[in-house]
Amino acid sequence: MAIDDIQITEHIFQSYFNDLLAAVRSDVLIIGAGPAGLTAAWHLAQDGYQVVVLERGLAVGGGMWGGGTMFSRIVVYGEEAKDLLAKAGVRVTARGDGYYVADAVECVAALTLAAAHAGAQIFNCIAVEDLLVRHDRVEGVVVQWMPVLRSGLHVDPVTFQARAVVDATGHGAELVRLLAKRRIPLPTPGGEPQTEGPMWAEVGERKVVELTGELYPGLFVAGMAAAAVFGAPRMGPIFGGMLLSGKRVAEQIGEALSR
Protein backbone atom coordinates (compact mmCIF):
# COMPACT_ATOMS: atom_id res chain seq x y z
CA MET A 1 0.00 0.00 0.00
CA ALA A 2 1.39 3.38 -0.98
CA ILE A 3 0.20 6.85 -0.15
CA ASP A 4 -0.96 8.57 -3.32
CA ASP A 5 -0.93 12.39 -3.47
CA ILE A 6 -3.77 12.47 -5.97
CA GLN A 7 -5.99 10.33 -3.74
CA ILE A 8 -5.38 12.75 -0.86
CA THR A 9 -6.60 15.57 -3.11
CA GLU A 10 -9.61 13.55 -4.27
CA HIS A 11 -10.66 12.74 -0.69
CA ILE A 12 -10.46 16.39 0.32
CA PHE A 13 -12.37 17.63 -2.72
CA GLN A 14 -15.08 14.96 -2.47
CA SER A 15 -15.68 15.49 1.22
CA TYR A 16 -15.50 19.30 1.17
CA PHE A 17 -17.57 19.93 -1.92
CA ASN A 18 -20.27 17.43 -0.92
CA ASP A 19 -20.65 19.25 2.38
CA LEU A 20 -20.46 22.67 0.74
CA LEU A 21 -23.17 21.75 -1.76
CA ALA A 22 -25.43 20.52 1.05
CA ALA A 23 -24.84 23.81 2.90
CA VAL A 24 -26.08 26.05 0.11
CA ARG A 25 -29.67 25.65 1.35
CA SER A 26 -30.10 25.19 5.09
CA ASP A 27 -32.42 25.95 7.98
CA VAL A 28 -30.10 28.38 9.74
CA LEU A 29 -27.04 30.30 8.58
CA ILE A 30 -24.89 31.62 11.39
CA ILE A 31 -22.36 34.22 10.37
CA GLY A 32 -19.38 34.38 12.71
CA ALA A 33 -17.94 31.55 14.80
CA GLY A 34 -17.24 33.47 17.99
CA PRO A 35 -18.70 32.33 21.32
CA ALA A 36 -22.23 33.53 20.45
CA GLY A 37 -22.28 31.94 16.99
CA LEU A 38 -20.80 28.65 18.18
CA THR A 39 -23.25 28.40 21.08
CA ALA A 40 -26.19 29.13 18.79
CA ALA A 41 -24.95 26.55 16.28
CA TRP A 42 -24.55 23.91 18.97
CA HIS A 43 -28.07 24.40 20.38
CA LEU A 44 -29.84 24.63 17.02
CA ALA A 45 -28.06 21.57 15.62
CA GLN A 46 -28.86 19.70 18.80
CA ASP A 47 -32.53 20.53 18.22
CA GLY A 48 -32.35 18.93 14.79
CA TYR A 49 -31.98 21.98 12.51
CA GLN A 50 -29.60 21.96 9.58
CA VAL A 51 -27.09 24.59 10.67
CA VAL A 52 -24.31 26.16 8.62
CA VAL A 53 -21.70 28.45 10.18
CA LEU A 54 -19.65 30.74 7.95
CA GLU A 55 -16.49 32.19 9.48
CA ARG A 56 -14.18 34.47 7.55
CA GLY A 57 -11.11 33.75 9.67
CA LEU A 58 -8.88 30.73 9.33
CA ALA A 59 -9.63 30.00 12.99
CA VAL A 60 -12.97 29.87 14.73
CA GLY A 61 -13.39 31.34 18.22
CA GLY A 62 -13.58 35.06 17.46
CA GLY A 63 -12.50 37.18 20.41
CA MET A 64 -12.51 34.35 22.92
CA TRP A 65 -9.05 32.81 22.46
CA GLY A 66 -7.12 35.56 24.17
CA GLY A 67 -9.26 35.92 27.30
CA GLY A 68 -8.37 39.21 29.01
CA THR A 69 -5.63 41.04 27.13
CA MET A 70 -4.08 37.75 25.89
CA PHE A 71 -4.11 36.16 29.35
CA SER A 72 -6.11 33.18 28.17
CA ARG A 73 -8.70 32.93 30.91
CA ILE A 74 -12.31 34.05 30.73
CA VAL A 75 -14.77 34.92 33.46
CA VAL A 76 -18.44 34.02 33.59
CA TYR A 77 -20.83 35.15 36.29
CA GLY A 78 -23.75 33.07 37.53
CA GLU A 79 -24.92 29.50 37.35
CA GLU A 80 -26.57 29.50 33.93
CA ALA A 81 -23.41 30.45 32.01
CA LYS A 82 -21.28 28.16 34.16
CA ASP A 83 -23.64 25.23 33.52
CA LEU A 84 -23.59 25.89 29.78
CA LEU A 85 -19.78 25.74 29.69
CA ALA A 86 -19.76 22.62 31.85
CA LYS A 87 -22.28 20.98 29.51
CA ALA A 88 -19.90 21.64 26.62
CA GLY A 89 -17.20 19.82 28.61
CA VAL A 90 -15.26 22.86 29.85
CA ARG A 91 -13.64 22.60 33.29
CA VAL A 92 -14.82 25.63 35.23
CA THR A 93 -13.37 26.86 38.53
CA ALA A 94 -15.57 28.60 41.10
CA ARG A 95 -13.95 31.76 42.48
CA GLY A 96 -16.71 32.65 44.95
CA ASP A 97 -19.46 35.32 44.89
CA GLY A 98 -20.88 33.89 41.64
CA TYR A 99 -17.67 34.25 39.59
CA TYR A 100 -16.27 31.36 37.56
CA VAL A 101 -13.05 31.13 35.55
CA ALA A 102 -12.25 28.91 32.57
CA ASP A 103 -9.40 28.46 30.12
CA ALA A 104 -10.24 30.47 26.99
CA VAL A 105 -8.56 27.98 24.63
CA GLU A 106 -10.45 25.09 26.19
CA CYS A 107 -13.72 27.05 25.83
CA VAL A 108 -13.24 27.62 22.10
CA ALA A 109 -12.25 23.99 21.55
CA ALA A 110 -15.20 22.66 23.56
CA LEU A 111 -17.83 24.94 22.01
CA THR A 112 -16.54 24.15 18.51
CA LEU A 113 -16.61 20.42 19.17
CA ALA A 114 -20.08 20.63 20.74
CA ALA A 115 -21.38 22.45 17.64
CA ALA A 116 -19.67 20.09 15.20
CA HIS A 117 -20.72 16.93 17.03
CA ALA A 118 -24.30 18.16 17.24
CA GLY A 119 -24.22 18.33 13.42
CA ALA A 120 -23.47 21.98 12.58
CA GLN A 121 -21.31 22.43 9.48
CA ILE A 122 -18.60 25.02 10.10
CA PHE A 123 -16.83 26.54 7.10
CA ASN A 124 -13.85 28.80 7.67
CA CYS A 125 -12.26 31.35 5.30
CA ILE A 126 -15.68 32.39 3.94
CA ALA A 127 -16.78 36.02 4.37
CA VAL A 128 -20.28 37.42 4.03
CA GLU A 129 -20.20 40.57 1.96
CA ASP A 130 -23.90 41.12 1.27
CA LEU A 131 -27.42 39.86 2.00
CA LEU A 132 -30.18 38.31 -0.07
CA VAL A 133 -33.22 40.48 0.70
CA ARG A 134 -36.44 39.44 -1.03
CA HIS A 135 -40.05 40.37 -0.25
CA ASP A 136 -39.00 42.38 2.84
CA ARG A 137 -37.12 39.43 4.29
CA VAL A 138 -33.51 38.33 4.62
CA GLU A 139 -33.37 35.02 2.80
CA GLY A 140 -29.66 34.38 2.71
CA VAL A 141 -26.19 35.80 2.27
CA VAL A 142 -23.72 36.65 -0.47
CA VAL A 143 -20.27 35.23 0.18
CA GLN A 144 -16.76 35.43 -1.03
CA TRP A 145 -13.72 33.34 -0.15
CA MET A 146 -11.39 35.36 2.06
CA PRO A 147 -8.28 34.96 -0.12
CA VAL A 148 -10.28 36.45 -2.99
CA LEU A 149 -11.15 39.50 -0.89
CA ARG A 150 -7.63 39.83 0.49
CA SER A 151 -6.04 39.69 -2.94
CA GLY A 152 -8.62 42.03 -4.45
CA LEU A 153 -9.47 39.70 -7.34
CA HIS A 154 -12.33 41.00 -9.44
CA VAL A 155 -14.61 37.96 -9.31
CA ASP A 156 -18.29 37.68 -8.48
CA PRO A 157 -19.50 36.20 -5.18
CA VAL A 158 -21.90 33.26 -4.64
CA THR A 159 -24.97 32.85 -2.42
CA PHE A 160 -26.30 30.72 0.45
CA GLN A 161 -29.97 30.53 1.43
CA ALA A 162 -31.59 29.76 4.80
CA ARG A 163 -34.87 30.07 6.68
CA ALA A 164 -33.10 32.17 9.31
CA VAL A 165 -29.81 34.08 9.28
CA VAL A 166 -27.89 35.10 12.41
CA ASP A 167 -25.56 38.08 12.60
CA ALA A 168 -22.98 36.84 15.12
CA THR A 169 -20.18 38.92 13.65
CA GLY A 170 -19.24 40.63 16.92
CA HIS A 171 -18.50 44.33 17.41
CA GLY A 172 -18.81 45.10 13.69
CA ALA A 173 -22.42 43.79 13.40
CA GLU A 174 -21.63 43.48 9.72
CA LEU A 175 -24.91 41.98 8.49
CA VAL A 176 -27.01 44.61 10.24
CA ARG A 177 -24.83 47.32 8.71
CA LEU A 178 -25.39 45.80 5.28
CA LEU A 179 -29.15 46.20 5.80
CA ALA A 180 -28.65 49.81 6.93
CA LYS A 181 -26.56 50.50 3.84
CA ARG A 182 -29.66 49.64 1.80
CA ARG A 183 -31.60 52.24 3.83
CA ILE A 184 -33.75 49.57 5.45
CA PRO A 185 -35.02 51.09 8.73
CA LEU A 186 -34.09 49.18 11.87
CA PRO A 187 -35.71 48.99 15.33
CA THR A 188 -32.56 50.57 16.82
CA PRO A 189 -32.24 54.14 18.16
CA GLY A 190 -32.71 56.49 15.21
CA GLY A 191 -33.41 53.52 12.92
CA GLU A 192 -29.66 53.13 12.39
CA PRO A 193 -27.14 50.67 13.84
CA GLN A 194 -25.24 52.18 16.77
CA THR A 195 -21.81 51.31 18.16
CA GLU A 196 -21.31 49.85 21.61
CA GLY A 197 -21.15 52.10 24.64
CA PRO A 198 -18.31 52.37 27.19
CA MET A 199 -17.36 49.29 29.15
CA TRP A 200 -19.79 48.35 31.90
CA ALA A 201 -19.87 44.61 32.46
CA GLU A 202 -22.94 44.41 34.65
CA VAL A 203 -25.25 46.25 32.25
CA GLY A 204 -23.62 44.86 29.10
CA GLU A 205 -23.96 41.25 30.25
CA ARG A 206 -27.68 41.69 30.86
CA LYS A 207 -28.39 43.80 27.79
CA VAL A 208 -26.64 41.52 25.31
CA VAL A 209 -29.10 38.76 26.17
CA GLU A 210 -32.16 41.07 26.29
CA LEU A 211 -31.30 42.62 22.91
CA THR A 212 -30.78 39.29 21.16
CA GLY A 213 -33.55 38.73 18.64
CA GLU A 214 -35.02 39.10 15.17
CA LEU A 215 -34.04 42.58 14.00
CA TYR A 216 -35.64 42.29 10.59
CA PRO A 217 -37.68 39.39 9.15
CA GLY A 218 -35.26 36.50 8.71
CA LEU A 219 -32.29 38.28 10.31
CA PHE A 220 -31.47 37.60 13.96
CA VAL A 221 -28.71 39.32 15.88
CA ALA A 222 -26.73 37.72 18.71
CA GLY A 223 -23.67 38.30 20.85
CA MET A 224 -21.68 41.51 20.72
CA ALA A 225 -23.44 42.45 17.47
CA ALA A 226 -26.74 42.68 19.38
CA ALA A 227 -25.22 44.92 22.05
CA ALA A 228 -23.45 47.09 19.49
CA VAL A 229 -26.38 47.86 17.20
CA PHE A 230 -28.44 49.10 20.14
CA GLY A 231 -25.56 51.06 21.72
CA ALA A 232 -25.41 48.87 24.84
CA PRO A 233 -22.17 48.85 26.85
CA ARG A 234 -19.23 46.63 25.93
CA MET A 235 -18.23 44.21 28.63
CA GLY A 236 -14.63 43.05 28.31
CA PRO A 237 -13.44 39.52 29.07
CA ILE A 238 -16.61 38.30 30.74
CA PHE A 239 -18.36 35.90 28.38
CA GLY A 240 -21.54 34.62 30.01
CA GLY A 241 -23.66 37.12 28.07
CA MET A 242 -22.22 35.92 24.75
CA LEU A 243 -22.99 32.29 25.57
CA LEU A 244 -26.49 33.00 26.84
CA SER A 245 -27.19 35.22 23.84
CA GLY A 246 -26.24 32.31 21.57
CA LYS A 247 -28.55 30.03 23.50
CA ARG A 248 -31.36 32.59 23.41
CA VAL A 249 -31.15 33.15 19.67
CA ALA A 250 -31.31 29.38 19.19
CA GLU A 251 -34.55 29.28 21.21
CA GLN A 252 -36.00 32.24 19.30
CA ILE A 253 -35.19 30.68 15.93
CA GLY A 254 -36.63 27.36 17.10
CA GLU A 255 -39.89 29.14 17.91
CA ALA A 256 -39.90 31.09 14.64
CA LEU A 257 -39.24 28.05 12.48
CA SER A 258 -41.88 25.92 14.16
CA ARG A 259 -44.62 28.54 13.57
| Of 11-19, 60-68, 110-118, 150-158: span binding ligand 48F (CB under 6 A) | 60-68
Cα gap 217→232, rounded to integer Å: 22
Given 30, 224, 244, 253, the residue binding ligand 48F (CB under 6 A): 224
Based on CB atoms, which residue is closest to ligand 48F, 31 or 165?
Answer: 31
SS3 240: helix
Q: For residue 117, is it left (φ>0), alpha (ψ between -120 and 50) or beta?
A: alpha
Given 43, 56, 207, 247, the residue binding ligand 48F (CB under 6 A): 56
Given 30, 242, 249, 250, the residue binding ligand 48F (CB under 6 A): 242
Based on CB atoms, which residue is closest to ligand 48F, 186 or 228?
Answer: 228
Cα gap 178→216, rounded to integer Å: 12
Q: Which contiguous run of DSSP H or E holds residue 30? A: strand 25-31
Based on CB atoms, which residue is closest to ligand 48F, 139 or 174?
Answer: 174
Q: Which residues, 20 to 49, sit near ligand 48F by CB under 6 A?
A: 31-37
Min. distance of Cβ 8 from ligand 48F in angstroms? 28
Number of residues located near ligand 48F, criterion CB under 6 A: 30
SS3 168: coil
Q: Which residues, 158 to 187, sit near ligand 48F by CB under 6 A?
A: 168-170, 172, 174
Given 29, 128, 176, 211, the residue binding ligand 48F (CB under 6 A): 128
Q: CA nearest 141: which of 19, 29, 256?
A: 29
Given 55, 106, 139, 214, the residue binding ligand 48F (CB under 6 A): 55
Given 54, 81, 85, 229, the residue binding ligand 48F (CB under 6 A): 54
Cα gap 214→212, rounded to integer Å: 7
Which distant-in-sequence residues (6+ apart) come within 8 Å of 118 by Cβ?
41, 42, 43, 45, 46
User: How many CB atoms sit inside 10 A of residue 17's CB?
Assistant: 10
| Of 7-15, 62-70, 94-102, 107-115: span binding ligand 48F (CB under 6 A) | 62-70
Cα gap 252→257, rounded to integer Å: 9
Report the interface residues with ligand 48F, using CB under 6 A.
Answer: 31-37, 54-57, 62-64, 127-128, 168-170, 172, 174, 223-225, 234-236, 238-239, 242
